[in-house]
């Protein structure tokens, strides 16, 4: 069992999830509280990765953000190396790829907060930041948990993007899903079964935890007067 790859997958998922929550909370706030037709475009863009083939995303990151383009060179200057074949590159790819899994649950949660509460908070002087942090987020704890768990799991299972720009570097880009792929491609089916088993176990555990939490809070519901 490649524990280095296991640790790398966990680290990638954790870092990606943290960044995603930091991006998705304000983005969801904007989508729910904002006005204007351009919001539909923003929402479409944030949902786009769901239908984007990972190979397209990988290509985009590899070529369009590679050292032959201006943007790519700036990024390389920022990180000290090009995005491809690096942990940072995988994080960027994962954040884009799992964005909808973080944004959608939060938007649903925020939108379910009853309008009289939002009105009351606005009248008491709350601007958008206070509205999101002190009203919408505390009343959407379950959505936040869902967003975090889904982003985490989606990143653990990520493969297409990693294959496109990972370079299979142990400790940096050789994630557990790449290990599984290598094992299958090298006809090492026994090891592949074990790796697949570990991946499945991780997913089931995380989802079971999520649903257990959901059940626990279900009774308390959040009765709003």
Partner 1 sequence: MIDLAIDARRNGFHLRVECRLASAWTVFFGPSGAGKTTLLRLLAGLDRGEQGTALAGRVILEGRVMTDTAHKIWIRPGRRQTAFVTQHTGLFPHLNVEANVAFGLHKLEKAQRRRRVDEMLDLVDASELRSRRTQELSGGQAQRVAMARALATGPRLLLLDEPFSALDGSASDALLERLQHWARQNDVQTVMATHDAADALAIGAEVLLLREGRMAALGPASQVLAMERERLRERLQIAD
Partner 2 sequence: MNRTRIIAALLGCMCFAPLMAQNSLRVAAAADLGPVLPPILAKFEQATGIHTEVTFQASAALTTLIENGAPFDLFLAADLGYPQRLLAAGLAEAPGAADAKQPITYAEGTLVLWALKGSHLPAPSLDLLRSPDLKRLAIANPDRAPYGKAAVSALRSLGLYEALQPKFVTAENIAQAAQFAGSGNADAGLISLTSALTAQMSSTGSYFVMPRESYPPIEQGMVVIKSSTHKDAARKLLDYLLSAPVQAQLGKSGLTPVH
**In this complex, which beta carbon is closest to partner 1, that of residue 80 or of residue 218?**
218
Partner from partner 2, partner 1, none contacting 167, C-beta within 5 to 8 A by type: partner 2
Partner from partner 1, partner 2, none contacting 171, C-beta within 5 to 8 A by type: none
**In this complex, which beta carbon is closest to partner 2, that of residue 67 or of residue 222?**
67
Least separation in angstroms between CB 182 and partner 2: 7
10 touches 58 (CB < 8 A): no
Instruction: Lay out the site mask for partner 2 across 165-184 (x = CB under 8 A, - = otherwise).
Output: x-xxx------------x-x
Partner from partner 1, partner 2, none contacting 66, C-beta within 5 to 8 A by type: partner 2
List of residues contacting partner 1 (CB under 8 A): 35, 114, 116-117, 119-127, 130, 134-135, 138-139, 222-225
Residue 36 CA, chain-centre distance (Å), reads: 26
121 touches 131 (CB < 8 A): yes
Partner from partner 2, partner 1, none contacting 187, C-beta within 5 to 8 A by type: partner 2
Please enumerate in sequence order all residues whose Cβ is within 8 A of that of 108, keeping only pairs 6 or more positions apart, or say none. Answer: 143
Q: Which of 12, 23, 14 is nearest to 45 (CA)?
A: 23
Task: Establish if 186 lies at the interface with partner 2 (CB under 8 A).
Answer: yes
Residue 37 CA, chain-centre distance (Å), reads: 26
* Contacts of partner 2 in 64-123 (CB under 8 A): 66-68, 72, 81-85
First to last CA, the chain: 53
96 touches 54 (CB < 8 A): no
CB count in 10 Å sphere of residue 187: 7
Number of residues that bind partner 2 (CB under 8 A): 21
CB count in 10 Å sphere of residue 63: 13
Binding interface with partner 2 (CB under 8 A): 62-63, 66-68, 72, 81-85, 163, 165, 167-169, 182, 184-187
């Amino acid at each position: 069992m490649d524990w280095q790859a296991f640790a790398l997958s966990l680290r990638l998922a954790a870092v990606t999830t943290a960044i995603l929550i930091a991006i998705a909370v304000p983005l969801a706030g904007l989508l729910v509280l904002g006005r204007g037709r351009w919001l539909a475009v923003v929402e479409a863009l944030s949902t786009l990765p769901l239908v984007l083939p990972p190979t397209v995303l990988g290509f985009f990151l590899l070529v369009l953000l590679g050292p032959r383009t201006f943007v790519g060179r700036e990024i390389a200057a920022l990180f000290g190396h090009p995005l491809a074949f690096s942990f940072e590159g995988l994080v960027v790819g994962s954040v884009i790829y799992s964005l909808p899994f973080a944004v959608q649950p939060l938007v649903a949660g925020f939108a379910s907060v009853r309008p009289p509460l939002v009105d009351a908070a606005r009248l008491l002087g709350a601007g958008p930041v206070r509205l999101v942090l002190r009203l919408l987020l505390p009343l959407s704890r379950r959505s936040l948990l869902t967003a975090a768990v889904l982003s985490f799991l989606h990143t653990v299972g990520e493969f297409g993007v990693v294959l496109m720009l990972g370079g299979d570097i142990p400790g940096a880009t050789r994630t557990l899903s790449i290990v599984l792929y290598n094992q299958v491609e090298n006809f090492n089916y026994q090891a592949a079964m074990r790796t697949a088993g570990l991946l499945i176990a991780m997913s089931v555990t995380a989802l079971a935890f999520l649903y257990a939490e959901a059940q626990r809070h279900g009774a308390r519901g959040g009765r709003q007067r």
